Amino acid sequence: MRPVSSSDSALKTPLNEILGYPGNVRILRSMIERQNAMSYSELAERTDISLPGVHKVVNRLLKTGIIAYRGSGKRQLIAAREEHPLFEALSGLFHAEKERVESLHAAIKQEIGKLNPQPLSAWMYGKTAQGKDQYGDPLQIALFGKLISIDPVTDQFKERMAESGIESKYDITIQITGITQADLDENHITLHEGYEMLWGVDPIFFAEGRRGTTGLTTHAELDLQSLQAGKAWAKLIKIYPEIIRRTIRHLEKQVSETESGVKGELTEWKHLLESASLQRLAKFLESEDEKAVRLRQSTPFWQIITEDEREKLQSIIESLAS
């Protein structure tokens, strides 16, 4: 019996090379998500891989046949090859990856929505929010509310999560922490190193140094923060225009399942995204007119953006603040 060769077979085990490096996975995920050919610089911007790193990854993937050049000369672009035998399977894998996270977020938000009273804000923090978690690390959730109600609300949420079966279904461990204004004023750890919104008002609006002299965020300050957020979203969707298509699909589902007063705003967002060009939408997000200010309070993009998109958004926000 001949010994088994240690070399990788392009026919028998192509996934060894296609998915054998984190950079390969990030580039492929971006290409399949975008569904359009992209330049090296676009790939670098979308994946936060250095330009030399993108060239290295593309060269590796070209050898597997899963991607190919489109065009020639200075306009030469790179795209995933839909005719590759494994393209559909890889697309399904990346879709399942994204769907799992979106489904988890939706399940958590559904449980938060059942709380009485409801928290002012809820967010994920720690390694998961930073995109640095490993298997087994807890998904940490902070609930922000008034001192008089935060403890019973937190206990209620813990009970609901235990009864929901979410941890078992998604193979995760969830840790829940109740937060008050005093915690935020002490620069609480839940806002360190980034966080990911789940519910309500962004906690940064309540943090010390971001509130008015009354101890609460003023309307003017909220409007300014809203405008800055709008500018960040406008920049992000120019980099990731597919966010619009995904948000429309998400809103279609939300509108059909929602009976509350929020349904009107969801419908407005859906109509705007369906009718506006990319340029007009970006201009609207940066606008200071009444409708833009009002709709920015219920921005629908948070729920559907990917981890790479969240990291890019955070980078944009930091650049706007500097």
- Within-domain flag for 301: yes
Helix 242-257 vs helix 219-239: angle between axes, to the nearest 10 degrees? 120
State in Å, rounded, how far the first CA of the chain is from the last one: 66
Domain C-terminal end among 23, 57, 85: 85
> SS3 for 72?
coil
- Within-domain flag for 142: yes
pLDDT score, position 215: 44
Q: Count of domains in the chain? A: 3
Q: Where are the alpha helices (DSSP H) in 35-171?
A: 40-47, 51-64, 87-113, 127-130, 150-164, 166-170
Whether residues 203 and 236 fall in one domain = no
pLDDT classification of 212: cutoffs 50, 70, 90: very low
- Within-domain flag for 168: yes
Q: Which two tokens stand for residue 113?
A: 């929505």
Whether residues 56 and 157 fall in one domain = no
Whether residues 206 and 253 fall in one domain = no
Give residues with Cβ within 8 angstroms of 112, minimum separation 6: 118, 119, 122, 143, 157, 198, 199
Residue labelled with tokens 């580039």: 27
Angle at 224 between CA 219 and CA 227, to 5 degrees: 125
Whether residues 307 and 258 fall in one domain = yes
pLDDT score, position 249: 87
Average pLDDT taken over every residue of the chain: 84
Give residues with Cβ within 8 angstroms of 91, minimum separation 6: 32
User: Is pLDDT larger for residue 137 or for residue 76?
Assistant: 137
- Within-domain flag for 41: yes
Beta strands in the chain (DSSP E): 67-70, 77-80, 121-125, 139-144, 174-179, 195-200
Strands 139-144 and 121-125: what pairing? antiparallel
* Amino acid at position 169, single letter: K
Give the C-alpha distances (Å, rounded to integers) separating 1 from 4, 93, 159, 173.
9, 36, 59, 47
Residue 146, domain CATH: 3.30.460
pLDDT score, position 46: 86
Angle at 200 between CA 292 and CA 243, to 5 degrees: 55
Whether residues 190 and 224 fall in one domain = no
Whether residues 208 and 226 fall in one domain = no
- Which domain range does residue 293 map to? 218-322
State how far the Cα of 322 lies from the Cα of 316, in Å rounded to an integer: 10
- Within-domain flag for 4: no
Q: Which two tokens stand for residue 46?
A: 């979308």
Residue 64, domain CATH: 1.10.10.10
| pLDDT tens-digit series, residues 273-316 | 999 999 999 999 999 888 888 888 778 887 788 777 877 887 88
Instruction: Determine the length of the chain.
Output: 322
pTM of the full structure? 0.69
Q: Which two tokens stand for residue 200?
A: 């309500």
Q: Which of 277, 275, 297 is nearest to 227 (CA)?
A: 297
pLDDT score, position 171: 96
| pLDDT tens-digit series, residues 255-278 | 776 655 567 778 899 999 999 999
User: Is pLDDT larger for residue 292 or for residue 318?
Assistant: 292
Domain C-terminal end among 85, 115, 134: 85
Whether residues 237 and 301 fall in one domain = yes
Whether residues 320 and 275 fall in one domain = yes
Q: By the 8 A CB rule, do 205 and 229 touch?
A: no
Q: Which of 203, 93, 109 is nearest to 157 (CA)?
A: 109
Segment 144-169 shows an average pLDDT of: 93
Whether residues 107 and 181 fall in one domain = yes
Segment 110-128 shows an average pLDDT of: 87
| pLDDT tens-digit series, residues 69-116 | 998 777 789 999 999 999 999 999 999 998 898 889 888 988 888 888
* Amino acid at position 77, single letter: L
State how far the Cα of 108 lies from the Cα of 303, in Å rounded to an integer: 11
Whether residues 246 and 173 fall in one domain = no
Burial, 132: exposed, middle or buried (Cβ in 10 Å; 0-12, 13-18, 19+)?
Answer: exposed
State how far the Cα of 177 lies from the Cα of 170, in Å rounded to an integer: 20
- Within-domain flag for 6: no
Whether residues 228 and 306 fall in one domain = yes
Q: Which of 110, 113, 120 is nearest to 183 (CA)?
A: 120
Domain C-terminal end among 85, 111, 129: 85
Segment 128-149 shows an average pLDDT of: 90
- Within-domain flag for 170: yes
- Within-domain flag for 224: yes
Whether residues 101 and 46 fall in one domain = no
